[in-house]
A and B are shown apart, each in its own frame.
Chain A
Amino acid sequence: MITDWTLWLEWFIKALVIIFALLIGFAYLTYYERRALARMQTRIGPNRAGPYGLLQPIADAIKLIFKEELSPAKAYKFVFFLSPILTLLPSIVIGAVIPWGATVHWFGRDINLYLADINVAVLFFAAIASVSVYGIVLAGWSSNSKYAMLGAMRSTAQMISYEVALGISLTPVILLANSMSMREIVEAQRSMWFVVYQPLGALIFWIATLAEVNRAPFDMPEAEQELTAGYHAEYSGMKFALFFMAEYQKMIIVSAILAVFFFGGYLGPGEAQYPILGPVYMFAKIMILLFVMIWVRATWPRIRYDRLMSFGWKILLPASLATVFLTAVGILMFDVAKNALWMWFIPVSSMLVFAICVIGVYQALRRLTYERV
């Protein structure tokens, strides 16, 4: 018999677990990134604090907590304090709707391995994720620094150009799953991951999320080499750590979302019998997707922000509209003709669109390069 207060207790515990998982995940993601980057760059990476440098994130955290908090002389103090919080909160809030697994039976009761299964989770994600850009813009504006202001400007321009494509690239998922609930999206992938049906959509979503979390090659708002640190140039100590935290937690979150939307979320062999395997699969998928982000950072130069805007508007947006159209056509024809081959029309046609995009970009660049060189 589930009483009211036990339900509250369960929610409370689950919320705590998610928050702490994200906090610790953030700390060890920095370690993971530094080690992986170091391996790719013929270095060793942090290896002094603790065995294999495992205590390095903790040492970093202690350093940041005890560091002096500076704020520029003419900064708007209230907003200056508020913006790190504003940046960090959304990334934690999104954690509420991510399904980490199905339902397990523990302590004589069914426990859902997710905090909330709201029926508009996709919209919830899109809405909350874009809030954090306010933190960045306000941080850049309130620090009264030219570099920070330029970073904030870039982040605004960037957000306008990728957010549309990000939102539209979610539509094929909704069409395929016929639901906006994250849990139902995952369950709809039991037969086949959506990345197989809609590879182009997954790619667009992934590119847009790279811009969303300000990761290379779209890290213009904080371009170290150009704007010294961009919007958080004037932040130090724990306030800086909050920005840092927000960025890495968002990395975890968008990887989780990508896994949920396109890579079957918590699904995996044996998960149906043992639902507790769900979080394990989820964790493994997130790690792999995070690795790809780190890999990209080690390899690619930064794109220029006007190029990101034209890329977002001229390529990502039309391509994502095409995926929506093709997915809709495929599903409609499948319903009408009752022929499973129509489902395979979606990936084939979207790969064609992808090929057209790649060839177009490649040709344009080739013309640009060989005419001049």
Chain B
Amino acid sequence: MPQIEEASYAKYKHLVSERVLTGETMLLNMGPQHPSTHGVLRLVVELDGETVVNAIPEIGYLHTGIEKNMESKTFLKAEVMTDRLDYLNTVGNNLAYCMAVEKLVDLDVPPRAQVIRVIMTELQRIASHLVFLGPFGLDLAAMSMFLYCFREREYIMDILELCSGQRMMTTYFRPGGVWRDVPEEFEAAVRDFLKIFPKRVDEYEALLTKNPIFLDRLVGIGMLDAKTAISYGVTGPMLRASGVDWDLRKARPYMGYEEYEFNVPTRTTGDTFSRYIVRIEEFRESMKIVEQGLKKLKELAGQPTLSANRRFVPPPRAEIGVSMEALIHHFKYWTEGFPAPKNSVYSAVESPRGELGVYMEGDGGPKPHRVHMRTPSFCNLSVINEMVRGHLVADLVAILASVDIVLGDIDR
């Protein structure tokens, strides 16, 4: 049996302080199998007693090679892999990817499809923040929160299943629109959720935000100032908690976000509590957006949900039976794919964790020459050492949870 690798000084010499050598401080291996590392993250923690001197994240335990794999797949088949990146934000990954493809081949998205995309991504944002909040509570040993959050997440999973037939790996958005229109029951299902959820958020707040122990664990812990955050490329709720009002939905609107009315919650302190409360407020803002989206959806009833540019979208099912050309196009579309011009594009969306960007390079063929994801978890995690220094192990767990990492997002 191979010896399990100990957290040794030799490997981390340049990252930890010299006090490790004399035995003054201790190197502790936290993960990859650890209940609070949210997947398979490994932290090499230098401890002075229980005070954290350094925490070095070591990633790569969930490396999937998705980026490389995409190069050997057509644009449509590569999209299926984007679901697996950030598995809590599957629809959002689809959106970022589809937007990049649309930018590359210059494809339009009909307004109804845009509204559906916005509703779905906002629902997914709520679901993702629920999966932040549940384990966040769990890491602070408020274990009931975990189950309450997953109870509400089921509503959203059901809505996703209703639309796409899948709970998680939906691939619902396609270049040029969405796979198909939302079913009739969609609006009622979303309205049900919108009716229940505000009360549930108040319940969470009653359980956590008003709990003195909870406040004691969070307030003033893991401070991150705006300057450090920007220099590390931190985005999303973490950046907004540090006082930078930067949300791509407002700053670089896409999918018609400029037509929606919503606030971008910010805090100025940049501690763990503000990262938590920013997300709680985003629940409410996302609900506002979904509400407005439903109204728009009603106005746009009956309009197409897929672009009319047949070069890049498959023909409708009804045509295949009667039109030879449609049948040939359908066959060619799904086997060969569509060619993309020799160009490179970058498009970014605001994922629940921050800026999710897709850099895509076409080479004239039906497959991307290179796809690179600028994932928010990666940048957000890199700043952890700055935040945990001088805090206790218990705080390290809370801070790590407040970063809200998804390992699939980090190890592409």
Q: What is the interface of chain A, defined by CB distance below 8 A to chain B?
A: 40-43, 146-147, 150, 153-154, 216-217, 219-220, 223-228, 297-307, 361-362, 365, 368-369, 372-373
Contact = CB atoms under 8 A, between A and B. Distances in A.
A219 B140 CA distance: 11
Contact of B36 (A147, A226, A300, A301): A226
B142 A301 contact: yes
Contacts of A41: 143-144, 147-148
B22 interface: no
B216 A299 contact: no
Nearest to B221: A304
B273 interface: yes
A330 B138 CA distance: 45
Contact of B213 (A217, A224, A369, A373): A217
Nearest to A220: B394
Interface residues of B, number: 42
Interface string B188-229: 000000000000000000011001111111011000000000
Interface string B390-403: 00111111000000
A279 B303 CA distance: 74
B393 A227 contact: yes
B292 interface: no
Q: For chain B, what secondary structure do more than half of its interface residues adopt (helix, strand, loop), or is it mixed? A: helix
A146 B23 CA distance: 13
Given A41-B144, A41-B147, A153-B50, A303 B273 contact: no
B394 A304 contact: yes
Contact of A299 (B49, B151, B207): B207
Q: Which 4 A-B pairs have the closest CB atoms?
A: A302-B141, A301-B140, A41-B147, A301-B142
Contacts of A306: 392
Given A225-B138, A225-B141, A305-B394, A372 B219 contact: yes
A371 to B, nearest CB: 9
B393 A150 contact: yes
Interface string B324-346: 00000000000000000000000
Given A41-B144, A217-B141, A307-B216, 11 more contacts: A223-B141, A224-B35, A225-B139, A298-B143, A300-B213, A301-B141, A301-B142, A302-B141, A305-B392, A365-B215, A373-B267
Contacts of B393: 150, 226-227
Contacts of B34: 228
B9 to A, nearest CB: 14
Contacts, number: 104
A44 B304 CA distance: 45
A369 B272 CA distance: 12
Given A299-B142, A373-B267, A42 B273 contact: no
A146 B28 contact: yes
Contacts of B385: none
Contact of A150 (B50, B216, B217, B274): B50
19 contacts: A41-B144, A42-B151, A146-B28, A150-B28, A153-B50, A225-B35, A226-B36, A226-B396, A298-B143, A299-B142, A300-B141, A301-B140, A301-B211, A303-B217, A304-B395, A307-B216, A368-B215, A369-B273, A372-B273
A297 B145 CA distance: 12
A368 B218 CA distance: 11
A304 B141 CA distance: 11
Contacts of B213: 217, 300-303
A238 B384 CA distance: 39
Choose among B50, B207, B269, B271 the residue with the greatest number of A CB atoms under 10 Å from its CB: B50
A341 B1 CA distance: 75
B142 A43 contact: no
Nearest to A307: B216
Contact of B216 (A220, A298, A303, A305): A303
A228 B43 CA distance: 14
Contact of B212 (A216, A219, A227, A365): A365
Choose among A40, A219, A300, A361 the residue with the greatest number of B CB atoms under 10 Å from its CB: A300
B357 interface: no
A220 B397 CA distance: 13
Interface in B139-186: 139-144, 147-148, 151
Interface in B107-132: none
B277 interface: yes
Interface string B25-60: 010110000111000000000000110000000000
Given A225-B35, A304-B394, A369-B215, A216 B141 contact: yes
A232 to B, nearest CB: 15
A300 B211 contact: yes
B376 interface: no
A225 B273 contact: no
A252 to B, nearest CB: 22
A22 B13 CA distance: 52
B400 to A, nearest CB: 10
Contacts of A369: 215, 219, 273
B23 to A, nearest CB: 13
Interface in B67-126: none
Contacts of A297: 143
Given A41-B147, A225-B35, A225-B397, A301 B392 contact: no
